[in-house]
Amino acid sequence: METETRPKILVLGSLNLDLVLHVARMPGAGETLASEESATFCGGKGANQAVACARMGAAVSMIGRVGDDPAGAMLRAALADEGIDLAGVTTTPATLSGLAVILLTPDGQNRILLASGANARFRADDVTAHAGEFDSARVMVCQLEVPLESVESAIALAAAQGVPVLLNPAPARALPDDLLARVDYLVPNESEASMLTGVEVRDEASAAVAAGLLLGRGVRCVVITLGASGILIADEHGHRRMPALPTTVIDTTAAGDSFIGGFATGVAEGLSVDDAARLGLSVARLCVSRAGAQASLPRRHEI
């Protein structure tokens, strides 16, 4: 497939080196717990979503920052190997790249600690410096692992150029209504939807209430990921739940990122919201059956 015929997706966000520690259980307060195994992977929600989109067949450009260190070189090389345009990825002098320490239990559940590193140096000026990357993009994908000012700048620029915005509000934090009103697709998980609305999201009914509140704040379409229970979609046509596809869970670290990669690519290809969501669920099914973040992301021919 020639690049010119592939839909362009612009991803703005974080790049991290992931240190995964396999543990029998999560440690308690003040407890030292030995890891049974460790591994290092390329990650970061922004980079993961960029790779997920690229492996679904999109032409992907990324805007972000890495440190001037071996991890930064490794992160850039991993994205280059996927054919991702790195013109917008800046190497930051005298700064370490972002680092994520991930505790992973045998049932595939995880806890993540982040050291932002170069991601914290990402500013609105970085967005305007690479404004040309927004040209011809079918959708702009962003998250919250970089400073909010840069996300707000990117969303404003995308809205001004008529580029649909997909926001994954992770890590969870309160967001202003004027930002949400510019978001076309908001994709939070249960805890993020709870943070944004004050509604404890624990099932389909509470997810529908939270989604309704987010629509009321100006979001055009809300997709709440519910883990093993699937997703809930809410838009002008009402709300509906789609179940997760059956699979054997090994590692859920990139589950949400893989769903977003499939969903964003479907949207960029012109699929309906429901069909794009089905593609996202198919990607997530394969992703969680494998280990690692970017290493677990499937390619389109596997779906």
- Residues acting as catalytic residues: 257
How far is Cα 159 from Cα 210, in angstroms, rounded to an integer?
24
Whole-number Å distance between alpha carbons of 9 and 19 = 28
User: In 3D, which of 33, 58, 227, 37 has the Cα closest to residue 139?
Assistant: 58
- Contact between 242 and 281 under an 8 Å Cβ cutoff? The reply is yes
Cβ within 8 Å of residue 198, ≥6 positions away: none
Spatial CB neighbours of 273, under 8 Å, sequence gap ≥ 6:
185, 221, 223, 233, 235, 267
- Rounded-to-integer distance, Cα 211 and Cα 201, Å: 10
Give 275-284 contacts, CB < 8 A, sequence gap 24+: 277/223, 277/231, 277/233, 277/242, 278/242, 279/56, 279/303, 280/231, 281/230, 281/231, 281/242, 281/244, 281/245, 282/245, 283/52, 283/56, 283/258, 283/259, 284/244, 284/245, 284/255, 284/256, 284/258, 284/259
